[in-house]
Amino acid sequence: MSAPRVIVIGGGLGGLWATLAIAEAGHSVMLFSLFEVMRSHSACAQGGINAVLDMKGQRDSVQQHIIDTIKGGSYLANQPPIQSMCEDAPGLIRTFERMGVTFSRTPEGLLDQRLFGGVRHKRTCFAGASTGQQLLYGVDQQVRRLETEGQVEKQEWWEFLSIVKDADGVCRGIVAMDLRSLEVRAFRADAVVLASGGLGQIYAPKTTCSTNSTGAAASRVYQQGARFANAEFFQFHPTAMLGEDKTRLMTEAARGEGGRVWVPKDPNDRREPIRIPESERFYFLEDWYPTYGNTVPRDIASRAIWKVTRELGLGVGAVGEHGAGKRGAGQRGAEEGSAGESRDRVYLDLTHLDRGFVSTRLGAILSIYRKFAGVDPLDAPMEIFPAAHYAMGGLWVDYEKDATTGGMKPGSPRNHATSIPGLYACGECDYAYHGANRLGANSLLSASYSGRVAGEAVASYLSGLEQGADAVPAALFEAETARQSGINERLTKASGDQNPFRLHRELGDLMTTKVGVVRDNAELDAALSGLREIEQRFERLDLGESSRWANQSLAHARQVLDMLKLAQVMAASARARDECRGAHFKPAFDLAIPEGKFPGDPEFETYRERWKANNAEWLKTTVAEHHPDGPRIGFEPVDLGLLSPEQPRDYR
């Protein structure tokens, strides 16, 4: 067996951390990216990264970080990986700091920390409001150094199309497409790490995700047999600003630093928000959740905004403001803009805070809001609404539990292994850490941590590998290359009337309206048939582009087709789960906490019993497997070894 070679797909935080870990174990890495490495969506993360350093004298503890993460995810995540992630978080921060990441500082020159959602302690390290960008650049610089040392070879402008499996079903390489020459080529590898990020583009344009966060790569390995878990759990970030082309994130740190969410008490109040007196404002999060206030977890905040705008009719944002222009003569006027849409927003207010403080701590989002909305959040409240943000679900990955610690066994080749031998997954494309709802600032942590763990696991896997990819017959690679080239040919030659970009928009509209913040089984059935209908229309594709060089329509059409497959997994998984848990909210099955009742009250205890009975039925991981007719949905138990579900989530 020649020197092992590993392929990493994706140059965001997860992929770069995996690359570092594999290269440091002495193996060479080929790093595939759709674009220049450093432009990945990790750069968009703003608010921070969680690690218990207890810089603020609040007696924060790793144990509390673990509990917050478990409960934030409604107990749905396996607990050993959460335990290990939280335990390793301080060490990750130390390593980032050594890399030169410009974390914000206290007057003593130490790491500053701030408050985030679903948490009572200041636990979030940050670099202004561009933390993801800073962390990404930190590892990007290290990988660039390894590149100069010959340890890492970058394949930029290549799109992953499929894995190549040997006769035993072991992953032995990939087939990828050069996005310039459109060449389809096979690459042998002894192990493959998928770090392809999230899938928010399935909700485009009402998503905070970058346009390359399509989920297509994860969908491709799912269609090749990798299991996909908890697909119904998708996070809608409560505070995003409306835009025609995308919804731009306004970090949760805005609330962590003291920002307040409100609407006018009188829905007909048309005064400028700054002129509405305090007594005529409804601070609904503070009112409904006095303990956590504006920093309730995201699923709770998004549903509260939904309730205020959709049920109570108290939303702001009148026709005539910039967001409402879509009812004009634009090409999209016909299908967009239901009557209520323009009043879906609520205020996120920073104007009561010290201007210098806000500028230092949140400068990056102030700049985004000024540039894209033309309003300075220091002078007027921002108008925000929930938007598709983060996939808690993803490729199913394994772990080995350490019997002595209860966490993940360090260096086990099982950690972050998908259900296909030799294929690993890390970062947002896996499902491992966040259960039914992710806590803010836990994603930069899980992306970094899981990348490193996956890299270490690959190193162990390689040391136990008896036969390398070199021994695999060339015919297997040639066959898969031919299959992928055939798909390109078919799409290029199709001569119908369906534009791939328009099909993508229809997909986004369908998912936004039918598989969104609030779900209903009839709507989910309609979503499933709608998705199949869009998929069928691919038979009548018109690529609209004939170029054989850098043909972006071809790459996009392939992505949309794979997004449709993944969207079906999401809808089918949501259909199968008849309960409310975290981000998955089906009102028909809601077990609401009795209002004004707390532990000890008979009504609350009755509720607790019902909640436990519901857990007995539904506290299980959803696992989808690909089948030509559609996804097969099954369930598997969750490891609750650390914290058994005795306490319902309660942020009041």
Partner 1 sequence: MQAETRSNAARINEPFAAAAKLTPDHGRETGASRTPDRADVGSRTVELRIRRQDGPTAAPYWQSFRLEARPGANIVSLLMDLREHCVTASGEPVDPVAFEHNCMEEVCGACAMLINGVPRPACSALIADLETPIRLEPLPKFPVVRDLMVDRAQLFAQLKRVKAWIRIDGAWDNHERAPRISPQDWAANYLYSRCMSCGCCLAACPQFGPEQAFVGPASLAQVRLMNAHPTGRHDKAERLHAIMADGGLSDCGNAQNCVRVCPKKIPLTTAIGELGRQTTVQALKDLFGGR
Q: Is 298 annotated in the active site? A: yes
The smaller minimum CB distance to partner 1, of residues 147 and 535, is found at 147
Between 96 and 607, name the residue whose CB sits nearer to partner 1: 96
Residue among 536 and 547 whose Cβ is closer to partner 1: 547
| CA 24 to chain CA centroid, nearest Å | 28
Catalytic option among 114, 298, 343, 438: 298
User: In the complex with partner 1, which residue's Cβ is closer, 63 or 359?
Assistant: 359
12 close to 42: Cβ distance less than 8 angstroms: yes
Element (H, E) at 131: helix 131-148
SS3 content of the chain, % helix, strand, coil (to 5): 40, 15, 40
Which one, 403 or 549, has the nearer CB to partner 1?
Answer: 549
Let me know how many helices (H) and strands (E) the chain has, helices first: 15, 21
In the complex, least distance from residue 141 CB atom to partner 1, rounded to whole angstroms: 4
- Say if residues 160 and 32 touch (Cβ distance below 8 Å): yes
Q: Which is nearer to partner 1, 245 or 590 (CB)?
A: 245
Query: Measured from the CB of residue 161, what is the shortest distance to partner 1 in angstroms?
Result: 20
Contact 579, 618 (CB under 8 A): yes
Q: How far is the CB of 39 from partner 1 (least distance, A)?
A: 4
CB 267 within 8 A of CB 313: yes
- Distance from C-alpha of 642 to C-alpha of 628, rounded to nearest angstrom: 39
Nearest-approach distance from CB 490 to partner 1, in angstroms: 19
39 vs 652, which CB is nearer to partner 1?
39
Sign of CA dihedral 401, 406, 407, 412: negative
Closest approach of Cβ 31 to partner 1, in Å? 13
Which amino acid, residue 618?
W
Q: Shortest approach of partner 1 to residue 438 CB, angstroms?
A: 20
Cis bond upstream, residue 587 (ω within 30): no
Other C-beta atoms closer than 10 Å to the C-beta of 200 total 29
Per-position DSSP letters for 402-440, written without gaps between them: -TTTSSBPTT-TTTTB-SSTTEEE-GGGB--S-TTSPPT
Q: Give dist(CA 352, CA 450) in Å, integer.
A: 39
Shortest spacing between CB 636 and partner 1, in angstroms: 32
Per the CB < 8 A criterion, the answer to whether 398 and 414 are in contact is yes
**Is the distance from CB of 620 to CB of 59 less than 8 angstroms?**
no
Q: Which residues are catalytic?
A: 298
